[in-house]
Chains A and B, each alone.
Chain A
Amino acid sequence: MNVDTSDVAAPPAIAPARRRLPGDGHMWVMIIGDLFIFGVYFVTYMVFRAMSRDSFVRSQHHLNNTVGVVNTLIMLTSSMAIALAAIAARERRLRSAQRLVWVTGALGGLFVLVKVFEWHEQIRNGHTVSDQFYSFYYVFTGVHLVHLLLGLIILGVVIRELRNPRKQRASIVEQGAIYWHMVDALWIVIFAILYLMR
Chain B
Amino acid sequence: MTSLSADEPSDTSVDRGSESRSVIAVWAFLSVITLVSWQLSPGSRDATSAVGDGLVAGIVALGAIKTTLIIRYFMEVRFAPRWLTVVTTTWVGLVWSTLLGVYLYR
Contact = CB atoms under 8 A, between A and B. Distances in A.
Interface of A: 1, 11-22, 28, 32, 35-36, 39, 42-43, 46-47, 49-50, 53, 57-58, 61, 64-66, 69, 72-73, 76-77, 79-80, 82-84, 86-87, 89-91, 169-171, 173-174, 177-178, 181-182, 184-185, 188-189, 192-193, 195-198
Contact of A65 (B31, B44, B50, B79): B44
A47 to B, nearest CB: 6
Nearest to A76: B30
Interface in B64-106: 66-67, 70-71, 73-77, 79-82, 84, 87-88, 91, 94-95, 98-99, 102-103, 105
Contacts, number: 194
Contact of A36 (B1, B17, B67, B91): B91
B8 A185 contact: no
A127 B100 CA distance: 26
A61 B43 CA distance: 7
Given A61-B48, A76-B27, A184-B74, A169 B60 contact: no
